[in-house]
Chains A and B, each alone.
Chain A
Amino acid sequence: MIASPNPASALTAAQLQTLDAVLNLIVPPSADGRMPGAAEVGVPAYLYIEAADALPVLGEELDELERRAHARYTRGYASLEQVERIALVEELRAQTPGFMNRLAMETLACYYQHDRVFEGLGMETRPPYPKGYEVVQGDLSLLDPVRARGKIYRDAP
């Protein structure tokens, strides 16, 4: 698990609220409930520790979403319906190349290292070392035709 110091010093409460509303657009919970949504895996804390350099731009992106929400729907982004949230983010991503790309990349890193996600994928919640994994040795009789064709290297003078 990733430790979670308070990220509030970098993003405002309003920005964090908008962020919370965006995260499940990146990775929604699965319909069968097996996989959590990205809003449930501690992304803000992860960003604070692992991607602090991304926070200033992210803050501006969240502010822009909030401004558009007010301009179009006269409500804050977090209080929009899901379809409205998606529409706004998609509009901005289409207009501004790279909009929230870094957020998406960091979110995926946080998400796919989280215990609940590992459990959802049916994987053990542990690092690779020391237990390692089993890998089948494989069928070396598949080499018979390669052997039968014989030498393929050139002799050199």
Chain B
Amino acid sequence: MTDDVDVLIIGAGASGAAFAWSMADTRMRILCLEQGDWMNPGDYPSTRRDWEVRQEREFSPNPNIRGLTQDYPINDADSPISPLNFNGVGGSTILYAAHFPRPHPSDFRVKSLDGVADDWPLDYAALEPYYAVNDREMGVAGLAGDPAYPPHQPPLPPVPLGLAGETMARGFNALGWHWWPSDTAIATRDYEGRAQCVNLGPCKSGCAQGAKASVDVTYWPVARRAGVRLRTRCRVREILVDDRDMATGVVYFDEHGIEQVQRAEVVVLACNGIGTPRLLLNSKSARFPNGLANRSGLVGKNLMIHPWGMVRGAFDAPLDSQRGPLSCCIWSQQFYETDRSRGFVRGYNMQITRGLGPVATARMGLARGDIPWGAGHHEAFARRYGRTIGIGICCEDLPEECNTVTLDPALTDSNGIPAPKITYRLGENTERMLAHGLARGAEVMKAAGAWDVYGEGPVRQTGWHLLGTARMGEDPERAVVNGWGRSHDVKNLFIIDGSVFVTSAGVNPTPTIQAVALYIADAMKQRLANLFD
């Protein structure tokens, strides 16, 4: 038995860190248990000549490929998209691209505006102050004035467009379509002790420069200075409850693999859209035979992963496209808001990405037959390397109960804890949206002057965004947590990660995950005297 705490956070990723930082000023005893370790930026692939191969192996975003002891396997055989993550202090922000768009106000009113899914119990205006705080704490770069958004002012200037961004901007202008420099969680100037981005490129395998806002270098140092404790290599197996349906703490395996019990007054789940339902489903008891906080039956249901299309175009002119933050450049929200004449509701963001490194260029060319064996290899490589630009099509997928996280009957992690299995398929609306996005992506590539364009989707290794599996809502029959993250069934259990999303919007989710975590922290602080009423 270890010492009791007031607030126990499980998971030290994007949401757990923001929440811990916000709660620190309560001076309560706050502890975070994280199954992974601290990262050493000196070990990141970009410090090595063989960075391209390293980022496919021990820094792969796919836990089934990475296979580190702190990872848990995920059975993804029943899904065209593989879930991706990272397990360590910083969570998936260690590998994320830091593309940092907010959703639109309409994203919180999907039912009212478009007659599909459900409205959120909160809205853009309620979250706006928390987006702003998060932009400041993470150090977000961008350009104010984007007509796709209500006004907001990113604290840092935007990442460079580069020749690639300019080329695409001209293509969008030729078609009369919207584009804007992306909001990105990357320090474009020295910021709060972090050095400015030096355009290394491989942000998605960890930023050795410390410019990218992974939460191990943003929220965590501040939260720990303010007294929050963080215990690494501690993997929670189960949340304990008493016969009054109150959580009493957790059982976890410590760094030596020894089972420990941690008591707590409040338990906060921040394990992401797969880790959180997994832990709830693993916490079965006589009072919760279907998993903790699951009287609605919705834990693990409504998984949303943002099916992703990828369009690439090759250009004649050298663009140095492999330089600069890989996935952050410009975006287009021309097709974001609903227009029923397109044959689907809701919409997608176009995320312009830069070119690939030499190994990835050559391998992709070989796989597609563009860069052959033997004669012609060098000429074909030269026509693509540094001259290729990508467009990611981030499709909003709507919640469907058939898309699930369940427990795999056989698979376990290194502590023997049952591992998750996902069952996922694209909805019809999403299929039509994806096809539209791929076609529009090809159109703008050609307008920008590409001599070769190809697209595919859904791309398998793109399950970055894990959402919806413990949704929020005021009706306990239709939601797992209420409008401020408290479980309907267990009144001292809170969920603060992307599991609580009611709908997914058509943009990368982390600004919203963190804004929601900060919002829930404030809601709890305002109600401390009667938190469990």
Contacts and interface: CB of A to CB of B under 8 A. Distances in A.
Nearest to A26: B373
Interface of A: 1-2, 25-28, 30, 35, 50, 86, 104-105, 108-109, 111-113, 117, 121, 125-140, 142-143, 145-147, 149-157
A20 B264 CA distance: 64
Nearest 5 CB-CB pairs, A to B?
Answer: A132-B198, A138-B161, A128-B200, A112-B358, A156-B105
Interface string B357-386: 111011100100000011101100000010
Given A109-B363, A137-B160, A156-B105, A151 B147 contact: yes
A152 B378 contact: no
Interface string B138-151: 00000101011110
Contacts of A111: 362
A113 B44 CA distance: 17
B216 to A, nearest CB: 17
Nearest to A139: B166
Nearest to B386: A121
Nearest to A126: B49
A53 to B, nearest CB: 12
Question: Which of B53, B169, B338, B375 gathers the greatest number of chain A CB atoms within 10 Å?
Answer: B53
Given A133-B320, A152-B148, 10 more contacts: A28-B377, A104-B373, A109-B53, A129-B46, A132-B197, A132-B209, A135-B199, A137-B161, A142-B173, A146-B178
Given A109-B53, A126-B49, A157 B199 contact: no
A144 B145 CA distance: 11
A109 B362 CA distance: 8
A153 B109 contact: no
A136 B362 contact: no
Contacts of A28: 374-375, 377
Contacts of A112: 52, 357-359, 361-362
B69 interface: no
A128 B200 CA distance: 5
B4 interface: no
Contact of A155 (B105, B161, B198, B338): B105
B513 to A, nearest CB: 20
B392 interface: no
24 contacts: A28-B374, A35-B378, A109-B52, A109-B363, A112-B358, A113-B53, A127-B47, A128-B200, A130-B198, A130-B209, A131-B198, A133-B323, A135-B160, A135-B199, A135-B323, A136-B162, A136-B163, A139-B161, A140-B181, A142-B173, A153-B105, A154-B106, A156-B112, A156-B124
Question: Which of B170, B179, B362, B375 gathers the greatest number of chain A CB atoms within 10 Å?
Answer: B362
A28 B49 CA distance: 23
Contact of A127 (B49, B165, B336): B49
A155 B373 CA distance: 54
A142 B174 CA distance: 11
A132 B200 contact: yes
Contacts of A130: 47, 198, 208-209
Given A105-B366, A132-B198, A152 B147 contact: yes
For the complex, would chain A's binding face be called helix, strand, loop or mixed by DSSP majority? loop
B201 interface: yes
A113 to B, nearest CB: 5
A156 B148 contact: no
A108 B363 CA distance: 7
B502 to A, nearest CB: 14
A133 B200 contact: yes
A153 B507 CA distance: 14
A157 B105 CA distance: 9
B113 interface: yes
B422 to A, nearest CB: 27
B123 interface: yes
B102 to A, nearest CB: 10
Given A135-B320, A138-B166, A149 B366 contact: no
Given A132-B209, A146-B147, A156-B113, A138 B162 contact: yes
A127 B148 CA distance: 38
Nearest to A35: B378
A154 B113 contact: yes
A154 B359 contact: no
Contacts of B338: 154
Contact of B49 (A1, A140, A146): A1
A153 B104 contact: yes
A105 B363 CA distance: 6
Nearest to A138: B161
B51 interface: yes
Contacts of B375: 28
B202 interface: yes
